[in-house]
Amino acid sequence: MDDVVYTRVGEGAPLVLIHGVGHRRQAWDPVVPLLAPHRDVIAVDLPGFGESPHREGAYGIEPALETFARLFGRLGIEKPHVAGNSLGGLLSLALGEAGLVRSVTALSPAGLWTPWQQQYALTVLRTLRTLARHTPERRVRQLATTAAGRKALTGMIYSNPAVLTPQVVVDDVRALGRAEGFLPTLAQAKGGFHFAGPVRDDVPVTIAWAERDRVLARPKAEALRLVAPQARLITLRGCGHVPMSDAPDVVARVLLDGSTNAG
């Protein structure tokens, strides 16, 4: 069961980074060098994504909490800081509700949606998955060589895909198309990915929403306060749903501030 793949670098208080549906731990690569001088950074591939193998029964919020509890024990860390994007943001909030972490930073978290917003988001994700699976890799590589092609392939999740290297785009598309955890995760999301909270009041929370998020609509502030009354609410200007490449400096600062003087 100790099969979760991760990358660990840096020094300081531990900070665990959790990616979104169909992504991989390398989504955090733009911010990791900015975090590592200040934090013990642990970027994780969720089961069935990236390099972590598919595991029956590993999908859903409760199995994820069990996975992270085991991982924390394996790494010898107790109540780390945690930050997540999209699905990773939802899981970060759930870890905060369970009291398993010292602080939570959620970037455009899933699970705070209305039924219509959930249906829209899942439809977008299924469409991206279909394109990733059925576009020949040769064509993906060709498109990735131009800014317009990178926008066509990844513009739904990044605000500025032109800054991505062609290889990152190819690897992202390949990872989405091959992720064995994608369908089981979406099956769980249909009826179970709603976060009502609240996060424990002794766990500092930051919720940062991307200004140009084309996947998840930002809830009203009062709705966010219901799930985390203590939350610091931030707008990530000019960023898309996955903001780490769009504004690495800004995202790194949000993560560092969110995990300072907590606990």
Q: Tell me the mean pLDDT in the region 247-251.
A: 98
* pLDDT of res. 211: 96
Residue 94: pLDDT above 90?
Answer: yes
* pLDDT of res. 3: 87
State percent of the chain over pLDDT 90: 89
pTM higher than the cut 0.85: yes
Residue 262: pLDDT above 80?
Answer: no
* pLDDT of res. 119: 93
* pLDDT of res. 261: 63
Average pLDDT taken over every residue of the chain: 94
C-beta contacts of 94-97 below 8 A and 24+ residues apart: 94/61, 94/64, 94/65, 94/195, 95/65, 95/68, 96/199, 96/200, 96/203, 96/205, 96/228, 97/195, 97/197, 97/198, 97/199, 97/200
Worst-scoring range by mean pLDDT, 38-42, 142-146, 222-226? Answer: 222-226
Q: Tell me the mean pLDDT in the region 144-159.
A: 96
Q: What CATH number is given for 6-258 in this structure?
A: 3.40.50.1820
Q: Tell me the mean pLDDT in the region 147-170.
A: 95
